[in-house]
Amino acid sequence: MLSISIIDATRDHICNGKLVMVYLLVLVAAKNVKSFGSTAWKYLKVEAIPPFTGGFFHGPGGRKMENFVNNKFEGLMGKIAGRIREMDAEEERERLERALAIKIAIQKRKAEEKQKLEEAQKAAKAKAAEEAKKAKAAAAAKAAEEKAKAAEEAKKEKPKEKPKKQKKRKDKGGRKGAKGAKSRRKKPRR
């Protein structure tokens, strides 16, 4: 209990990585103390108990005392191991949150870039459509102006004489396929 309160007091001053290391050191030390303590207790129980108290230490009272001390020590080590697991879980959770935040930021940046690209494309299409309208209007105005000039010139010029129609020729029979024409057959080869 004393070691946990000391570590809790220094928790604010030690960063998570160092704090986990301290907890691990305390856990290893507690396991070593437990094994040393159990060996020492076995020796003391046989060699160093006061006279006429062997029945107590070897009987149900001694077993109760041993179980009480063992349970407290196991509880201490369990709390330390639990704190270590909590810190590892917290560290993993923070790592996952950072990774998720980075992923979300990347997706947001991609969405913004895509939106900007779409807006730029829309603006370019609108500008091209506007230029096309201006060009079409200018072409229409130029065509109307040329038409007007042509109409003015046509009014200024005198009307020309209509060309004479050519008469159709009559067929004289000298052409292929005409009536009365000789047919030219090829002579067969020998």
Task: Give the pLDDT of residue 35.
Answer: 86
Give the contacts of 20 (CB within 8 A, at least 6 positions apart).
Answer: 84, 87, 88
Q: What type of residue sits at position 43?
A: Y
Flag whether 65 is in a domain: yes
Nearest to 28 by CA among 67, 84, 70: 84
Across the chain, mean pLDDT equals 81
Flag whether 69 is in a domain: yes
114-171: per-residue pLDDT in tens?
Answer: 999 999 999 999 999 999 999 999 998 888 888 888 888 877 775 556 666 777 766 5
Domain coverage including residue 74: 2-117
Flag whether 175 is in a domain: no
Flag whether 127 is in a domain: no
Flag whether 188 is in a domain: no
- In whole angstroms, give the CA distance from residue 8 to residue 6: 5
pLDDT greater than 90 at residue 104: yes
Task: Give the pLDDT of residue 165.
Answer: 72
**DSSP line for 59-117:** SHHHHHHHHHHHHHHHHHHHHHHHHHHHHHHHHHHHHHHHHHHHHHHHHHHHHHHHHHH
Per the structure, the count of domains in the chain is 1
- In whole angstroms, give the CA distance from residue 1 to residue 109: 51
Flag whether 98 is in a domain: yes
